[in-house]
Amino acid sequence: MFSTNPFSALSSTVSPDIMQTFVVVMVLFVVAGTLIDIVHKKSARYFFENWRKVKEKGAKEIGGGEMVSLAAQTAAVEVLTSAEFCNQRRRLAHLLTMYGFVIYVVTTAIMVFGYPTPETATPAYLPNLWYLGGLMVCVGGYWFWFFIRVDVAAEGHSPFRIVRADLFILSLLVSTTAGLIWAMLQASGSAATGVFLGIYLIATTVLFGGVPWSKFSHMFYKPAAALQKRVETSNGTRRNLPPPADKPATLGDPTQLPRNY
C-alpha cells in the first residue's frame, strides 16, 4: 500500500493531463497569491523602507562578503532549523510540519509529472517518502493544533474554535489527512475513495488558493525578516535595543522554557 503511487493508480479515472494542470494551477495560485499579498499589505515597501533606515542608521557598513555570510547563517539557523522559536516544542512541531510538507509536495510533483501512469513504474521510495511526508505534517500539525497553538495553550480557547488565522494550518491538515486516507482507501479498493478524493482536492485548492488570506506566504517572508534581524544586529542598530549588559553569563541556558508561566 505504502509503495503504490496513488496518482498513477488514479490515472485510470482522471487523465494525467488534468492532474498535471491542477498542480501547475496550484503553483500559479501561490505565486499570484503571494504577489497580491505583498501589494495589498505593502509588506515589500515596508521591508525596503526599513532596510534603508537600518542602513542609514547603522554604525558600520555591511560588505558583500559579510552579507553572504549573514545570509548563509540565516539559512542554516533560522530557515533550516527554525531556531527563532523560543519554545522548543513549537520548534519541533514546526520542523516536522515544514520538512513533512516539503517532502510531501516535492514527491507529489515528481510522481504526477514523472510517473503519471502505471506504464512508467514508480520507484518504491517515492510513495514511501510521500506517505512519510504526509505523516510528518499530520504529527507536527495536529500536535500544534491541539496542544501548542497559542489560542489553546495561552488563551485557553477550545481547540475547536476556528478563526481566519487558522486557514493555513487547517487547510494543510485537512488536505494532508484526506490525501493519505484517499490513497490508502484507493489501494484497498474501498467505495469511499471518491469522498476523500473530493475532500483532498477541495482542501488543497483552499490551501493554495487561499494564500492572500492565510499565512501560507510566511515561508517567503520569514527568511527575509530573519536576514534583516541579523543585519541589524551586525551593523550596530540592534533594532534600537540596549547593548548587551557587561555581566558574565552565570545563570544557565536562556533558551530553556520557563516553568513559572
Report the distance separating Cα 222 and Cα 74, nearest Å.
10
- Closest distance of CB 37 from another protein, Å: 13
C-alpha cell at 10: 488514479
Residues 6+ apart with CB under 8 A from 203: 171, 174, 175, 178
Under the criterion CB under 8 A, does residue 250 sit at the interface with another protein? Answer: yes
Q: Does 57 bind another protein (CB under 8 A)?
A: no
Shortest reach from residue 252's CB to another protein, in Å: 4
CA distance 79 to 68: 15
Please choose, out of 1-9, 114-122, 135-143, 163-171, the segment that lies near another protein by the rule CB under 8 A: 163-171
CB of 261 vs another protein, minimal distance in Å: 4
Q: Which of 34, 90, 100, 135 binds another protein (CB under 8 A)?
A: 90
Q: How far is the CB of 85 from another protein (least distance, A)?
A: 7
| Residues 2, 178 contacting (CB under 8 angstroms) | no
- Is residue 59 at the binding interface for another protein, with CB under 8 A as the rule? no
Report the residue from 38, 87, 158, 209 that binds another protein according to the rule CB under 8 A: 87
Which residue of 163, 188, 189, 191 would you call a contact of another protein, by CB under 8 A?
163
Estimate to the nearest angstrom the gap between the alpha carbon of 114 and the chain centroid: 24
Q: What are phi and psi of 124, to 5 degrees?
A: -65, -30
| Residue 158 contacts another protein per CB under 8 A | no
Q: Is the dihedral of CA 80, 82, 88, 91 positive or negative?
A: negative
Report angle CA 92, 224, 79 to the nearest 5 degrees: 25
Considering only 56, 61, 119, 246, the residue that binds another protein (CB under 8 A) is 246
Which chain residues interact with another protein by CB under 8 A?
Answer: 46, 84-87, 90, 150-151, 153-155, 163-165, 215, 225, 239-254, 256-261
